């Protein structure tokens, strides 16, 4: 099979309509962003006109897909990718009327409360979303009962001990951000902020991950060898979707303190 044919799949009929050359030109990470977006949207209820935040959108391929396939308005936010390049890609895709590129840090978003109907994150949430307070932060930008969904690389099960021997050569400390669907479910459920609709894994997700790398990074032997050795035992794709609990209180964050300095004696009088 030629490499480009690996990007065409009956499992992802929407994604398979897109030119493999365009998909490859939009690479910004270690996953086929359209496959993951299509998979995630199967668990969401997106309707034309909704406001959607595509958080960590990379080169905005997922944002373009969301606009074209569902007619939603998309704010394509990313910290690392060039916003002017994304604007040109969005324009050339003919969706400049409904996809708005933003240069933003996921921890310092320039939006008002309750602005979005949905927040999605494709293969980027693990980089910023697994700390104990992040859901409390990002959920405030979604309307009550609004949707939050993530999909990306993860673990099929958590390590029970050290890194498995067949993954050690590839594994680096930054990969500790990867977690399983049950771990992510617990991480969200315990806050009471989101009512979970679904937390699962993509069947043969490891094979999709491997196929992607064989196309876009055939020289990445460490990752390819790790995937081939693992065969889905630990590595694959995870998905989590839920809705903001309208009863959960999300108090405003303290982002600065007023200046209240009063000069006082430094030491006790002798």
In a domain, 147, yes or no: yes
- Give tens-digit pLDDT for 181-215: 999 999 999 999 999 999 999 999 999 999 999 99
Determine the average pLDDT of the residues in 41-64.
98
Task: Give the neighbor-by-neighbor strand order of the sheet with 73-78.
Answer: 99-103, 73-78, 51-55, 116-122, 142-155, 235-244, 194-201
Residue 1 has pLDDT above 70, yes or no: no
pTM for the model: 0.94
255 within domain boundaries: no
pLDDT at residue 61 greater than cutoff 90: yes
pLDDT band at 69 (very low <50, low <70, confident <90, very high): very high
Evaluate whether residue 239 is within a structural domain: yes
Q: How large is the average pLDDT for residues 248-254? A: 86
Write out the residue range of the structural domain in which residue 143 sits: 3-244
Q: Is residue 55 part of a domain?
A: yes
In a domain, 162, yes or no: yes
Percent of the chain with pLDDT over 70: 99
DSSP 3-state of 50: coil
Res. 151 pLDDT band, cuts 50 70 90: very high
Number of domains present in the structure of the chain: 1
Residue 52 counted as domain residue = yes
Determine what percent of the chain is predicted with pLDDT higher than 90. 91
d(CA 7, CA 5): 5
> What CATH code is carried by the domain that includes residue 201?
3.40.50.150
- Within a domain: 198: yes
Q: Which residues contact 167 (CB under 8 A, 6 or more apart)?
A: 226, 229, 230, 234, 235
What number is the average pLDDT over the span 249-267? 87
Beta-carbon contacts of 218 under 8 Å, excluding residues fewer than 6 positions away, are 3, 224
Residues 228, 146: contact at Cβ < 8 Å? no
Mean pLDDT (the chain) is 95
């Amino acid at each position: 099979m030629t490499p480009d044919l690996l990007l065409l799949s009956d499992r992802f009929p929407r994604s398979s309509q897109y030119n493999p050359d365009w998909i490859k030109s939009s690479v910004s990470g270690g996953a086929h962003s359209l496959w993951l977006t299509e998979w995630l949207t199967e668990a969401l209820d997106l309707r034309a006109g909704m406001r959607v935040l595509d958080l960590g959108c990379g080169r905005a391929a997922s944002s373009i897909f969301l606009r074209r396939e569902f007619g939603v308005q998309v704010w394509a936010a990313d910290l690392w990718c060039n916003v002017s390049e994304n604007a040109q890609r969005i324009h050339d895709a003919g969706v400049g009327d409904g996809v708005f590129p933003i240069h933003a840090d996921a921890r310092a978003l320039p939006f008002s409360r309750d602005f979005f109907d949905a927040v999605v994150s494709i293969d980027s949430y693990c980089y910023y979303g697994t700390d104990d307070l992040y859901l409390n932060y990002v959920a405030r930008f979604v309307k009550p009962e609004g949707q939050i969904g993530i999909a990306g690389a993860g673990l099929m099960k958590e390590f029970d001990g050290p890194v498995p021997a067949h993954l050690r050569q590839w594994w680096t400390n930054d990969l500790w951000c990867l977690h399983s669907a049950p771990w992510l479910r617990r991480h969200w459920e315990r806050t009471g902020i989101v009512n979970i609709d679904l937390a699962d894994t993509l069947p043969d997700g490891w094979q999709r991950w491997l196929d992607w790398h064989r196309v876009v990074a055939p020289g990445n032997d460490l990752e390819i060898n790790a995937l081939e050795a693992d065969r889905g035992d630990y590595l694959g794709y995870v998905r989590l979707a839920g809705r903001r609990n309208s009863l959960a209180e999300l108090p405003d964050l303290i982002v600065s303190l007023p200046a209240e300095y009063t000069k006082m004696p430094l030491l006790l009088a002798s």
